[in-house]
Structure 1
Amino acid sequence: MAVKINLFERVDSGKGLFAVETISLIYNALTTILILILYPRMDHPGMMLLERAGIVVLTFVLIFLYQAVPCRLTAFIRMLVQMSLLAYWYPDTFEFNRLFPNLDYLFAHAEQFLFGCQPAVEFSKHLPSIWFSEPFNMGYFFYYPMMFIVVVYYFLKRFEWFEKICFVLVTSFFIYYLIYILLPVAGPQFYFPAIGMDKVNACIFPPIGDYFNLNDYLIPGPGFDHGFFFNLVEASQEVGERPTAAFPSSHVGISTIVMIMSWRVNRKLTYLLTPFYLLLCGATVYIQAHYLIDAIVGFISAFFVYHLATLMYKRWFISPVFKLMG
């Protein structure tokens, strides 16, 4: 018999911040300091500072809302807003790493040395039909729905762990984002059109300095261009993609962490998500968003990032945030 969930069931976490809000404010503060250091060189630092102030205000407005109505629903809203803000923090990494010399040429050289080719080019070239293009693009598009499904499952079925997994997930993103700020790698879909496919085919990968500081042309993805999921991915990339965040692949890293979370709570859910996960991992290279080494390191790093974020939660937040009140 199904258990009914009362979204307005009262919960009590005290008067302070949730763990996920704490880590978000820490990341906000760290990047604010970086803006102040790089202020003269940045494109629109004043606006970035205002946006950060707005995020702080929004965070505390939601705290006041929760204090007025402390229940599962308002707790979920607070968590969901912080996770939704990741859509802001991701392109924000580009505003920092665009100032530094691009490193794609090193990764393209490494790819050529390790595999004797550019897998991001060869993969789609040998599997161009709709029967491969659509499944891979579907997997890539399923990145955020996969996260949402697992987070909602914890909210509905394992509420006592909900705060923890939200913290681990958001913290994992921030760990990857800090790497992206310091390691400017754009990926094949940006680097290859910047140097020209004639050079790629000739295995010539020149450094391009701060080229992406003024240029952000994104090559259309390979595959069947009339496909439904192909066009969904293209539309989403046109809106939110930037020449940043290629190494390691957070798509592979975060989706692996999501799979770990699902495995720990429900094996059937894991089996359901596995085909989408495998297609997503393959799609990162198929659509040329990443080099193959990005995907490999993304997978390996996921286990370290997951354990680091979990350790941070245990050290910083000893007792559970949520205590159900009868």
Structure 2
Amino acid sequence: MGVRFGKDRERAGLYAENRHFQGTEGDVGVVSSGGVALRFTPVDRATLGYDLFVLAFVILFWRKIPSAGTHLLFNLSVVGVVFLMRRLRGGPLSRFLRSGYPLILFTFFYYQTGLLNRILVPEFLDPLFLSADRGIFGEFPGILLRQMLRGRFWSEFFHFFYSSYYIVIPLTAVGIFLRERGRFEEYMFQVSLLFYICYAIYIFLPVEGPLHLRALSFDGGGFFERLVDFLYAKGENPGAAFPSSHVAVALLVAWWSRRVGRAFSCVVTLCSLFLSVATVYCMFHYAVDVFAGVFLAVAYVVAVGKLRGEDKGDDEENGEKNPPRL
């Protein structure tokens, strides 16, 4: 049985009636000390689930983790953010933030994985992944792509599409919020859960990516190349390459973008496809990272569709005329 959504999710927030939670199926609620019932949405539960998983990891391996207290403080603060979002009331911006707040958390969660990913596996596993690429292609395909597509134009071309990743996810979120507000929470839940799956994998499977080859192949010239270097230096931490969350999430977002409009969907889909190539051309990922990202995205969409079908069938059996979506 999948997670149930409906138009009433737009009214998710604060509920108070005789100190009891009057929720709908699919929501989890708690009653605050002031008698206010807080309804946790699927986005909240996915975020809390991942955050508490990391919190448990930090506590379990406390002595092995540098600055473990900082991690503890961060993950506890995320719990506070989730509770704060449930109390948020107001206009369209507040409604957007109530489900869209993970868009801000993704960067911090992602960075944290790079601080935790060598606690259990002390060394990066890159030799295995580089060998896999060479076994398939005869050489790391990033080098082959650079040989075929030389020059500043192609470098800027692919670095532009690599950087588009940071735009298409929130832009699609805004588009869905404006065009199909009743589906916005569903979009955020699916994107959030896919990110959290990738992040959990990174903690146990540290793969840095072919950054040493990038340093030998690019000179830091060109606006978009410098922009990507800046974003990587400020917002990323090595060790989160397999599977490629860039590819997996970008493809999921492309799948969702059709709900915003045909022209928008074409642009986002092209960005996602070129981004998938750019991850290898720009030498941030091995090809096997991309393959894994594509597989994960497809499997995820298929699983979502199956759960939707199960929900629809169950709702029809129960006589519901307008079954909620996954």
TM-score by length of 1: 0.79
**Residues 52-201 of structure 1 aligned to structure 2 (within 5 Å):** 52-66=75-89, 69=90, 71-99=91-119, 100=121, 101-189=123-211, 193=212
Contact 1:253 1:301 in 2 (8 A): yes
Which has the larger displacement, 112-121 or 273-282?
Answer: 273-282
Q: Which stretches in structure 1 are left out of the alignment for 5+ residues?
A: 1-9, 198-218, 322-326
The answer to whether the 8 A contact 2:133-2:286 is kept is yes
CA contact (8 A) 1:128 1:223 kept: no
**What is the distance in 2 between the residues matched to 1:134 and 1:29?**
40
Aligned to 1:233: 228
Does the Cα contact within 8 Å between 2:162 and 2:278 map onto a contact in 1? yes
With over 3 angstroms needed to count, the CA separation of the structure-2 counterparts of 1:77 and 1:22, relative to structure 1, is same
Higher relative contact order (CA 8 A, sep 6+): 1
Mapping of residues 212-291 of structure 1, within 5 Å: 220=215, 222-223=217-218, 225-264=220-259, 266-291=261-286
1:42 counterpart = 2:65: yes
Q: Following the alignment from structure 1 to structure 2, what is the Cα–Cα distance between the partners of residues 308 and 89? A: 24
SS in 2 for 1:93: helix
Alpha-carbon shift at residue 284 of structure 1 (Å): 0.1
Cα distance change on mapping 1:21 and 1:312 into 2, 3 Å? farther
Cα drift, residue 242 of structure 1: 1.6
Q: Which residue of structure 1 lines up, in the alignment, with residue 22 of structure 2?
A: none
Per-residue CA distance 1:104-163 (angstroms, 9 max, x = gap): 111111111111111123322442311101110000000021112211111000011111
CA distance in 2, matches of 1:143, 1:75: 24
Q: CA RMSD in A?
A: 2.4
Work out the CA distance in 2 between the residues paired with 1:32 and 1:310. Answer: 31
Secondary structure at the counterpart of residue 290 of structure 1: coil
How far apart are 1:310 and its partner, in Å? 6.5
Deviations 1:259-291 (A, max 9, x none): 111135533221122332222111100111001
Letter in 2 for 1:187: G
Q: Find the aligned partners of 2:216 and 2:247 in 1 and give their Cα distance.
A: 18
Q: How many residues align?
A: 280
Residues 188-238 of structure 1 deviation map (CA, whole Å, 9 limit, x = unaligned): 11xxx3xxx7xxxxxxxxxxxxxxxxxxxxx54844632111111011011
Is the 1:128–1:224 Cα contact (8 Å) retained in structure 2?
Answer: no
5+ long unaligned stretches in structure 2: 1-8, 15-38, 316-322
CA distance in 1, matches of 2:62, 2:131: 33
